[in-house]
């Protein structure tokens, strides 16, 4: 039986695991005047060791079936099965970016809900901040930046370079790379297993809080928390799959998609949202929560309807991990 989503996506009922319909594009925003240009580094290999325990592992390119078959009972309608071929080797972080790592490279703390846990995943960052973090890695380790960003700190806005796969710097994994890595060559429901208890923090075992990264078992390719702990931004913005297609190195850049995609589910999600195929469209990319109206820097008026104003509202259930194309020439 196929689960039906309203306007392509299901309304997620678990606390902190809300998806949004795809009936409108991301709102235009006024970019700050200052701009951080793409770096001119020509190194194909990063210089120096990554800080704060960050480790990447090599993933061999290959072909896989992305999405789910019509016969899968727990599938959602936006998981049209198709074949994906990844042609280039990549490196992917074995854990989600931690609060310590974010502070080390960005110079400030995200306003995390769960403070005092430096080895927990960073949360409450926007897709743009995640992209800016990867740029900070690239600049520190002398490889090209994969995003062009304007502004700084929590006000940063970013866009992708033209060909993300050919960028030698650090970046967010594409949606296809993320699912390929989460599957790790297996056909399990979740990343690493059909049983979440030893592999992912979720609604029924997390006590409704995040946990330090890599405290549960990794999948067969050594990647931790691909299911659970925090949902993860990927590079792609939301777009429908083309059923039965064969795609080589697919990607949907921000200019061509709806809103940022999150993968993997979180500590507050029900099991179905931690499936390796489940896609969540970031519901906060052009909305505000009621709590934002209490902030001193809130620019709306009392007549503004909650959820219809603002730019990049953060979510305590969302973080990210980094990746990098391995380019030899």
pLDDT 10s digits, 120-151: 999 989 999 999 999 999 999 999 999 999 99
Predicted local distance difference test score (pLDDT) of residue 328: 87
Asked if residue 216 has pLDDT above 50, the reply is yes
Predicted local distance difference test score (pLDDT) of residue 293: 38
Question: For residue range 75-118, what is the model confidence (pLDDT) as tens digits?
Answer: 999 999 999 999 999 999 999 999 999 999 999 998 766 778 99
The strand pair at 56-59 and 35-36 is best described as unpaired
Question: For residue range 316-329, what is the model confidence (pLDDT) as tens digits?
Answer: 899 999 999 999 87
Predicted local distance difference test score (pLDDT) of residue 101: 97
Asked if residue 236 has pLDDT above 60, the reply is yes
Cα dihedral 43, 255, 95, 64 sign? negative
Position with higher pLDDT, 196 vs 3:
196
The strand pair at 279-281 and 323-325 is best described as unpaired
The strand pair at 147-150 and 157-160 is best described as antiparallel
Asked if residue 210 has pLDDT above 70, the reply is yes
Q: What is the DSSP string of 197-241?
A: TTT---TTTSTTS---TTSS---TTS---SSSSSEEEEEEEP---
Predicted local distance difference test score (pLDDT) of residue 298: 42
Give the residue from 297, 310, 36, 259 showing the smallest Cα distance to 156. 36
Predicted local distance difference test score (pLDDT) of residue 57: 98
Asked if residue 161 has pLDDT above 70, the reply is yes
210 vs 220: CA distance, rounded Å: 23
DSSP annotation of 81: -
Position with higher pLDDT, 7 vs 318:
318
155 vs 311: CA distance, rounded Å: 10
4 vs 78: CA distance, rounded Å: 9
Supply the angle between the helices 127-140 and 99-106 in degrees, to the nearest 10.
60
Question: For residue range 165-201, what is the model confidence (pLDDT) as tens digits?
Answer: 999 999 999 999 999 999 999 999 999 999 999 999 9
Predicted local distance difference test score (pLDDT) of residue 290: 38
Q: Tell me the pLDDT band of 55, cut-offs 50, 70 and 90.
A: very high
* Domains of the chain and any CATH numbers: 35-296+304-325 (3.90.1580.10)
66 vs 301: CA distance, rounded Å: 44
Question: For residue range 249-258, what is the model confidence (pLDDT) as tens digits?
Answer: 999 999 999 8
Asked if residue 306 has pLDDT above 90, the reply is no
Asked if residue 8 has pLDDT above 50, the reply is no
Mean pLDDT score, 234-245: 96
Position with higher pLDDT, 303 vs 104:
104
Query: How much is the pTM?
Result: 0.83
284 vs 287: CA distance, rounded Å: 5
Residue 297 has φ and ψ, to the nearest 5°, of: -95, 10
SS (H, E, C) 256-291: HCCCEEEECCCCCCCHHHHCCCCEEECCCCCCCCHH
Q: CB burial class (10 A; 0-12, 13-18, 19+) of residue 34?
A: exposed
Cα dihedral 214, 217, 223, 229 sign? negative
Predicted local distance difference test score (pLDDT) of residue 295: 42
Position with higher pLDDT, 37 vs 327:
327
Mean pLDDT score, 12-21: 43
CA angle in degrees (0–180, nearest 5) for 99-134-163: 155
């Amino acid at each position: 039986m196929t689960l039906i989503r309203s306007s392509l996506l299901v309304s997620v009922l678990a606390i902190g695991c809300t998806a949004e319909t795809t009936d409108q594009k991301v709102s235009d925003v006024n970019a700050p005047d200052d701009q951080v240009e793409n770096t001119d580094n020509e190194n194909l290999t990063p210089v120096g060791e990554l800080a704060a325990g960050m480790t990447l592992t090599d993933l061999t390119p290959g072909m896989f079936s992305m999405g789910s078959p019509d016969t899968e009972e727990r599938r959602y309608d936006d998981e049209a099965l198709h074949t994906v071929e990844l042609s280039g080797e990549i490196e992917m972080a074995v854990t989600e970016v931690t609060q310590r790592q974010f502070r080390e490279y960005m110079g400030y703390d995200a306003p995390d809900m769960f403070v005092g846990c430096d080895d927990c995943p960073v949360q409450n960052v926007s897709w743009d901040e995640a992209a800016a973090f990867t740029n900070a890695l690239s600049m520190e380790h002398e490889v090209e930046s994969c995003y062009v960003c304007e502004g700084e700190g929590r006000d940063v806005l970013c866009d992708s370079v033209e060909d993300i796969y050919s960028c030698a710097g650090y970046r967010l994994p594409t949606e296809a790379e993320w699912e390929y890595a989460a599957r790790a060559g297996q056909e399990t429901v979740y990343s690493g297993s059909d049983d979440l208890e030893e592999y992912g923090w979720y609604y029924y075992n997390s006590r409704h809080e995040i946990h330090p990264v890599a405290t549960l078992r990794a999948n067969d390719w050594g990647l931790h928390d691909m299911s659970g702990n925090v949902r993860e931004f990927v590079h792609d913005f939301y777009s429908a799959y083309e059923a039965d297609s064969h795609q080589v190195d697919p990607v949907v850049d921000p200019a061509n998609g709806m809103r940022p995609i999150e993968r993997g589910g979180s500590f507050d999600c029900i099991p179905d949202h931690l499936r390796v195929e489940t896609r969540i469209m970031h519901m906060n990319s052009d909305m505000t929560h009621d709590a934002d109206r209490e902030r001193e820097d809130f620019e709306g008026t009392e007549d503004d309807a909650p959820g219809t104003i603002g730019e990049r509202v953060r979510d305590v259930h969302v973080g990210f991990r980094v990746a990098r194309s391995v380019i030899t020439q």
